Amino acid sequence: MICVATIQIPSQYTLSLIRRIQIVTITWMSIEAVLSLWSAWKARSTVLAAFGGDSAIELLSAIIVLWRFRDDSSEEDERRAARMTVSVLIALGACVVWVSSISLLGYSEPKPSYFGMVVLLAALLIIPLLAREKRRLSAITGSAALRADSAQSGLCAYLSLIALLGLGVRSVWHVKWADPIAALTVTPFILFEAREALKGKACRCC
């Protein structure tokens, strides 16, 4: 059960900030997902595929939160949005495990992807800023959906770092299993955040 605190009625200024940051997230995640998935396909990289999947899921999460903070939204919409954002967190964990397992079983052997590393570096610079602002706004509004979305952004930043390290090890030392192991490393973070959101930690009601 997702526990949602009494929703604070945000000011028009706060609403404007939330919508603006969600639009920025949607724009960036659209670009990031396309570029990282294209790089993953070219390099047969599971960690880039996992990162691209994360970007697509974060895009969906941002769209859900943008819908949540429309002018005529209600507390029931907040609960629905919170459930959906937790669901996409769990879907992300399943996606990472699946693509990493395929690589570890030998069905796909990744190649070095320097373009993918550039995409990951850009994400590492941009995403933490979005995550921090979303956390701040979730504290102001008491929104579990926005807090879960900020967790998605934070995890995207963690995954970009881990993926960058994995690709770097793969490119320099040619360690075949570094790529999928790097992807699997982030899975516990994903499941932890999903559990915390389910417990209601996002809205400080437990």
User: pLDDT in tens for each of the 206 residues of the chain?
Assistant: 444 444 566 788 899 999 999 999 999 999 999 999 999 888 878 778 878 887 888 898 899 899 988 877 777 777 788 788 778 778 777 877 876 776 677 655 567 778 988 999 999 999 999 999 999 998 888 887 888 888 888 878 887 887 788 778 777 777 767 767 776 777 787 777 777 666 655 444 43
Q: Is residue 32 part of a domain?
A: yes
- If one counts the domains in the chain, the total is 1
With respect to residue 123, please indicate whether it lies within any of the assigned structural domains: no
In a domain, 6, yes or no: no
Question: Is 148 among the domain residues?
Answer: yes
The domain of 172 spans 12-106+130-199
Is residue 115 included in any domain, yes or no? no
H helices, E strands: number in the chain: 7, 0
According to the model, what pLDDT value does residue 57 have? 82
Distances (CA, A) of 175 to 35, 136, 169, 170, 183: 24, 40, 7, 5, 14
Whole-prediction pTM: 0.77
Evaluate whether residue 97 is within a structural domain. Answer: yes
Residue 28 lies in a domain: yes
Quick check: is 2 in a domain?
A: no
